[in-house]
Amino acid sequence: METATYRKVHWRADIQVDELASGKFQGMVLLLHDGRPTSEQVVHRTVDVFDTQEGALVEAKVLANRMLGELQ
């Protein structure tokens, strides 16, 4: 499964897809400020769940871009 990393200045958003117990998929964005410990990483999940990994990945990419766009 393809994953992606997006960057904005000192922020990094890593994209992942999580398979749920139901067999559906949910996108995740792992947001981290460079220079800070990974223990400060914040996990954001997409609201919707999907039948396919691809659907969840697309939604996670949208979420990551929106979140990074809102950061100063």
pLDDT of residue 3: 76
DSSP class of residue 10 equals: T
pLDDT of residue 61: 95
pLDDT of residue 1: 59
pLDDT band at 72 (very low <50, low <70, confident <90, very high): low
pLDDT in tens, 12-71: 999 999 999 999 999 999 999 988 887 788 899 999 999 999 999 999 999 999 999 988
pLDDT of residue 58: 95
Strand order in the sheet with 11-19: 5-8, 11-19, 25-33, 42-45
